[in-house]
Amino acid sequence: MLPIRTKKELQEIRSNLAPNSKIGLVPTMGALHSGHASLIKKAVAENKTVIVTIFVNPTQFDNEEDLQKYPTALHDDLRLIADVSPNIMVFVPTTSEMYQSNVIPKKYDFHGLDKVMEGEFRDNHFNGVGTIIETLFSLIRPDVAYFGEKDFQQLRIIQKMTEILKLPVKIIGCPIVRESNGLAMSSRNERLDPSLRLKAGFIYDTLVAAKQKFGTESVHNTKEWVDNEFENHPDFKMEYFEIADVETLTPAKRKIENIKYRGFIAVYANSIRLIDNIALN
């Protein structure tokens, strides 16, 4: 499988596709794992043409070290994709191909969805995500695009962006895939040493216990309980745990009937930042 390297080549291939060829897009930053494989499999099952993009997008990183250390594994990625289906097309541009010399994100109004949680702690992150996704959508013009629920806030923001910009693409969220200890699959897990990776099952265990607590306890008590669990843990430093409305992502102060809530967490294991979330009701 030879990856497509340039926008020009991609656009030529795109314009030669039959007008009725349903196109599914799976945007990724590479270092693919079973979570990505689940998105790619779903795209293959639901579309005639599938395009996977692999691009570590610099405009969504607020931390140079995180960008520099982001894992890459193109050879393995291409094999994983070909194992799902040899007919998948893969677009692997360079930064200069994507941005020329203008490596700065566009500014978006995401109606406040970007002001909390990841948006609060990662300056400009969602402007960078919006910039690359809008560019990929305009180059590829997919019918459907697939995103993992591990980045639930990202998923809601991309849905909001397509709604605001009236982009003709359906956004599908896919369930989180977990390692055997419950740790949410992430390319960053590669950077954890094996013993810490094993211990990091604690993050999901805490979310599951928080869900149980939330059944009988208040928002405040559930949050306080999670804070305490991490305060007492020697290996992990919690950045935030938030209980938020799944639609607006507004952090909850108290439970309101008929609102669906999710618990969102960001944790540092040494310098490696891990995120996860769980449906609470």
* Cα pseudo-dihedral 93, 52, 79, 73, rounded to 10: 50
Task: Give yes or no for residue 129 binding ligand PAF (CB under 6 A).
Answer: yes
The vertex-189 CA angle with 245 and 150, nearest 5°, equals 20
Q: Is 36 a catalytic residue?
A: yes
Stretch that binds ligand PAF, among 25-33, 61-69, 76-84, 243-251 (CB under 6 A): 25-33
The C-alpha atoms of residue 105 and residue 117 are separated, in whole angstroms, by 20
Binding test (CB under 6 A) with ligand PAF, winner from 47, 57, 127, 162: 57
Query: What is the enclosing helix (H) or strand (E) of 240?
Result: strand 236-245
Q: Which is nearer to ligand PAF, 131 or 222 (CB)?
A: 131
In 3-state terms, what secondary structure has residue 4?
A: strand
Q: Least Å distance between CB 132 and ligand PAF?
A: 5
Task: Give yes or no for residue 27 binding ligand PAF (CB under 6 A).
Answer: yes
Q: Which is nearer to ligand PAF, 151 or 229 (CB)?
A: 151
Q: Which residue has the tokens 């604690």?
A: 202
- Which of these, 85, 65, 66, 77, lies nearest to 31 by C-alpha position? 77
Binding mask 227-266 for ligand PAF (x = CB under 6 A): ----------------------------------------
Bridge partners for 178 per DSSP: 184
Stretch that binds ligand PAF, among 126-134, 167-175, 214-222, 245-253 (CB under 6 A): 126-134
**Edge-to-edge strand ranges of the sheet holding 144-148:** 89-91, 49-54, 23-28, 144-148, 170-174
Cβ–Cβ < 8 Å for 246, 265 = no
| Rounded alpha-carbon distances, angstroms, from residue 29 to 57, 173, 186 | 7, 17, 11
Q: Least Å distance between CB 124 and ligand PAF?
A: 13
Residues 6+ apart with CB under 8 A from 195: none
Binding test (CB under 6 A) with ligand PAF, winner from 4, 10, 25, 29: 29
- Amino acid identity, position 176: I
Total residues contacting ligand PAF by CB under 6 A comes to 10
Q: Least Å distance between CB 93 and ligand PAF?
A: 12
Task: Give yes or no for residue 151 binding ligand PAF (CB under 6 A).
Answer: yes
Binding mask 205-234 for ligand PAF (x = CB under 6 A): ------------------------------
Q: Least Å distance between CB 60 and ligand PAF?
A: 6
- Catalytic-labelled residue, pool 33, 36, 220, 233: 36
Stretch that binds ligand PAF, among 24-32, 74-82, 114-122, 201-209 (CB under 6 A): 24-32
The C-alpha atoms of residue 79 and residue 89 are separated, in whole angstroms, by 12
Cβ–Cβ < 8 Å for 147, 171 = yes
Binding test (CB under 6 A) with ligand PAF, winner from 10, 25, 28, 49: 28
Task: Give yes or no for residue 132 binding ligand PAF (CB under 6 A).
Answer: yes
Active-site residues, by number, are 36
Residues that bind ligand PAF (CB under 6 A): 27-29, 57, 60, 129, 132-133, 151, 154
